[in-house]
Structure 1
Amino acid sequence: MDLTPSPHAQALHQRLLDFLQQQVWPCEAEHAAEETSARAAGNPWQASPLVERLKDQARAQGLWNLFLPGSPRAPEGLSNLDYAPLCELMGRVHWSPEVFNCSAPDTGNMEVLARYGDEDQQARWLDPLLDGRIRSAFLMTEPAVASSDATNLECAIRRDGSDYVIDGRKWYASGAGDPRCAVYIVMGITDPTADRHQRHSMVLVPADAPGIRVERAMDVYGYDDAPHGHMQVALDNVRVPASNMLLGEGRGFEIAQGRLGPGRIHHCMRAIGAGERALEAMCRRLASRHAFGRAVAEYSVWRERIAQSRCLLDQARLMVMKAARMMDTVGNKAARAEIAMIKVIAPQAAEQVIDWAVQAHGAAGVSQDTFLARAWAHTRTLRMADGPDEVHREAIARIELKKYATTQGDR
């Protein structure tokens, strides 16, 4: 299986690396200072002037909307295999994907609109998202049910004449804290009597629709991730036109699978990028620090961890690249086992490497003086986002066991 990106993607990889090295990575301290200043002023929920400035530069260099394949509205979009290495580079700094209009949940929401939206929906919402003029949120997870089983969702979407009326409560709605967030994609139940995978639908809801109340920002290991945010949102008798329904009633699970496949490639490669940066930081730290008369890097326990880190990251990368190629060639459905496997493997690999890097840095590793604490918190969260490890393992096991359902005896 050839996992080599196209020549065009390889050239983009070098251009992206140059841009990151010259324009983004040196600005981490400036970005942190912006966050501190905004908090001191009492309003962290505002766009970063630095990121907005960098967006203009990235767009001018053709480093924009690289994630969306096969859309006439975004001809610069790459295949999953071509985009994956670029996504890894972006993952080294948690805020850098937005610079290239390649950040979640906008990427997944743009995938939904490009794949399943009609012309009017695309003109109203996809075009301004692709242009970076607005942002979006995806409302699926709910606080009152075990959302690892999406059939448990309680949010109701009922038809009322020429409208749909939505009632429910969602939380960890990533992106809903951003003042530029203009639209929610909401998943809820349209027919509770239908088959369990045909009860749900997705509907487009303007963020300023009457009846929407952002109740609070949810922390992630103490981080509120402003201005992006992970919000708890109440929808009380929210009314939208029936034309806001995506694809049709009962198609919510179908849309979710189309949305989550590419998103898992993106999440996994960004996690590997964070893991690579952590491994580099760990090696530098261990080589520069001395304890009990010799460099810490000379102790066998750290050599073992460095070696294991390299193995974990390279294994994860190969698995993700394989899944990306399969999605490009045989489709998401045929690649469902590989997609599930990478969602288990990559965040765990990155989390372990980052954890060892934290340990290598001692007190500095858990402080605000390095990127490690935030990277660990984000990567640990990925083991629940887009489905927890346990659900993906169950899916992998089902697919594997199905191969033997009709086997007659052993060989």
Structure 2
Amino acid sequence: MDFAVPDRALEIGARVEKFVREVVIPYEKDGRRDHHGAPLDEMVDEMREKARAAGVMTPHILPDGSHLTQVETAYVLIKSGLSPLGPLACNTMAPDEGNMYLLGHVGSPELKDKFLKQMVSGHARSAFFMTEPADWGGAGSDPSMMKTTCRKDGNHWVVNGKKTFITGADGAKVGIVMAASEEEDSKGGACMFLVDLPDPAIRIVDVPNTIDTSMPGSHATVEIENLRVPADQLLGQPGEGFKYAQVRLSPARLSHCMRWLGCCIRAQEIATDYACRREAFRKTLIDHEGVGFMLAQNKIDIQQAELMIYWCASVLDTGDLGTTESSISKVAVSEALMRIADNCVQVMGGTGVTDKTIVEQVYREVRAFRIYDGPTEVHKWSLAKKIKRQWRDAQAQDG
């Protein structure tokens, strides 16, 4: 595998890092937040205007509409993640980054012109409507349980159902809605639709407070009642929704790893600075093995996480969906980043659990990351099934 980062990505990444460190980080103390603690669109729009001026808006998508390779994207997105606000300012944040990737790969020229352009420019936030409420018996980590339905009605599709934990739904202008098809020609599969938001047929019923606070609009529960979608806003082919979900989710899991690694690198910088300045028992904290060893372990975990990300990125660049590799990377990196964030809090003691630095926020954000885009346990279960299947295949070949 070739993990070498090309010069163009090095140059883009350097500009992104400079912008995040010099322009974005001061916004971490900005009080323009909603009651959930998430940044208000007013603040996001202001940062994005500065990102456009600096030439770092949506840096992983080039002016001609082509994407950086996954290896190049990894380098750039890690730099954007040096602040929890960096991906918002540079338009590399979930769910928009994953939605742009999906639409870029599956969308028709007409859908790209209507929806993708405004997303790439950073003038529209988006939401991905897939997960459903557990008390409704709907789809979570198992999309085959999807109960939201769609059916044809003339030159429209009609969608009914419920969705939950829909990141950014409140305030989004573009939605990708996934529903199980009731049509025979869909062969029991699912469909995806592009919709303009807000739409009165999609009603937000709850926006709970959550442990993470980095994403505008938080994570809403919505009810969809007789949503009428023009037939030409069907994404791809009917019945192929589950396949398209994998087109989106495999690289999206890895993008999360990239961004949160950037945050943990920054948390390590802050904790290291604290440990090298703070004294206790007549020497600096880092000179106490209990503290110094935690920072040393963090350095090891950061390096391993980075290698894991570039390994998976190189697989995706071969054209493989990389579902196995993305599952391995999601588990390994999310668990490593949790150790890093926890160690940074511990090194800083009381200061580490305050909002004096972004360390405590990084801890909260990474804790949530261990759940979304598939909890650790779901990925391990999936990997175990593949291990068993490979064993059976080997036994069959041996006769």
Q: By the TM > 0.5 criterion, same fold?
A: yes
Q: Mean Cα displacement is larger for which, 292-301 or 371-380?
A: 292-301
Question: Matches of 2:85 and 2:102 in 1, distance apart?
Answer: 23
Partner of residue 208, structure 1: 198
Instruction: Tell me: CA distance 1:243–1:193, structure 2 relative to 1, closer, same or farther (3 Å).
Output: closer
Conserved 8 A contact 2:38-2:214: no
Residues 328 and 226 of structure 1: CA distance in aligned 2, closer, same or farther (over 3 Å): closer
SS at match of 2:317: helix
Q: In structure 2, list runs of 5 or more residues that go unmatched.
A: none
Asked if 1:95 is matched to 2:93, the reply is no
Q: Which residue is equivalent to 1:386? A: 373
Shift of 1:140: 0.8
State how far apart, in whole Å, the 2-side matches of 1:153 and 1:322 are: 32
The equivalent residue for 1:289 is 278
1:199 aligned onto 2:177: no
Which residue of 2 is the match for residue 57 of structure 1? 50
**Alignment partner of 1:135 out of 101, 104, 125:** 125
**Structure 1 position 228, deviation (Å):** 3.1
1:233 lines up with 2:222 in the alignment: yes
Cα distance in structure 1, aligned partners of 2:216 and 2:247:
27
2:308 paired with 1:319:
yes
Q: Which moved more, 1:256-265 or 1:400-409?
A: 400-409
Instruction: Specify the alignment match of 2:362 in structure 1.
Output: 375
Matches within 5 A, 1:224-263: 225=214, 227-263=216-252
Q: Distance in 2 between matches of 1:362 and 1:285?
A: 10
The match for 2:73 is 83
Question: Aligned-pair distance for 1:199?
Answer: 2.2
Give aligned-pair identity as a percent. 30
Residue number in structure 1 paired with 2:176:
185
The one-letter amino acid paired with 1:26 is P
Q: Distance in 2 between matches of 1:44 and 1:80?
A: 28
1:337 to 321, 324, 333: 324
Q: Look up the match of 2:18.
A: 18
Distance 1:326 1:298 in 2: 41
Q: Secondary structure at the match of 2:50?
A: helix
Residue range with higher mean Cα deviation, 127-136 or 14-23: 14-23
Listed one character per residue, the Cα deviations across residues 213-268 of structure 1 (whole Å, up to 9, x for unaligned) are: 111212222x5556332111111121122222111221111111111122122100
Shift of 1:46: 4.0
C-alpha separation in 2, matches of 1:193 and 1:388: 33
Q: Does 1:165 align with 2:163?
A: no
Give ranges in structure 1 of 5+ residues lacking alignment.
none
Provide the rounded CA distance (Å) in 1 between the counterparts of 2:16 and 2:213. 28
1:7 paired with 2:7, answer: yes
Q: Judge conservation of contact 1:117–1:246 (CA < 8 Å) in 2.
A: yes
Aligned to 1:28: 28
> 3-state SS of the aligned residue for 2:32?
helix
Query: Helix, strand or coil: the match of 2:128?
Result: strand
- Helix, strand or coil for the counterpart of 1:284? helix
CA distance change for structure 1 residues 248 and 406 in 2, over 3 Å: closer, same or farther?
closer
Shift of 1:154: 1.1
CA distance in 1, matches of 2:59, 2:250: 16
**For residues 114 and 355 of structure 2, what CA distance do their matches in structure 1 show?**
40
Query: 1:114 deviation in Å?
Result: 1.4
C-alpha separation in 1, matches of 2:304 and 2:133: 35
Q: Distance in 1 between matches of 2:279 and 2:377?
A: 41
Q: Give TM-score, length-normalised by structure 1.
A: 0.88
Deviation of 1:21 (Å): 2.6
Note if 1:48 corresponds to 2:42: yes
Residues 406/234 of structure 1: CA separation in 2 closer, same or farther (3 Å cut)? closer
1:301 aligns with 2:290: yes
Question: Could you say if the C-alpha distance between residues 280 and 16 of structure 1 is closer, same or farther in structure 2, counting changes exceeding 3 Å?
Answer: same
Letter in 2 for 1:233: V
1:220–1:378 contact (8 Å) kept in structure 2? no
Q: For the structure 1 residues 43 and 283, does the alpha-carbon distance in structure 2 shift closer, same or farther, using more than 3 Å as the test?
A: closer
Task: Measure the CA separation in 2 of the matches of 1:163 and 1:106.
Answer: 26
Letter in 1 for 2:309: V
Task: Give the deviation of 1:73 after TM superposition.
Answer: 5.1
> Could you tell me how far apart the structure 1 residues matched to 2:346 and 2:274 are?
11
Give the conservation status (yes or no) of the 8 Å contact 1:191–1:250.
Answer: no
Q: Which stretch has the larger CA shift, 338-347 or 90-99? A: 90-99
Q: Which amino acid aligns with 2:142?
A: D
CA RMSD of aligned residues (A): 2.6
Q: Is the 8 A contact 1:73 1:127 kept in 2?
A: no
Cα distance change, pair 124–192 in 1 and its aligned pair in 2 (3 A): closer
Q: Structure 1 residue 390: deviation in Å?
A: 1.4
Q: In the aligned structure 2, how far is the partner of 1:62 from the partner of 1:271? A: 23
1:156 alignment counterpart: 149
Say which of 256, 264, 268 aligns to 1:267. Answer: 256
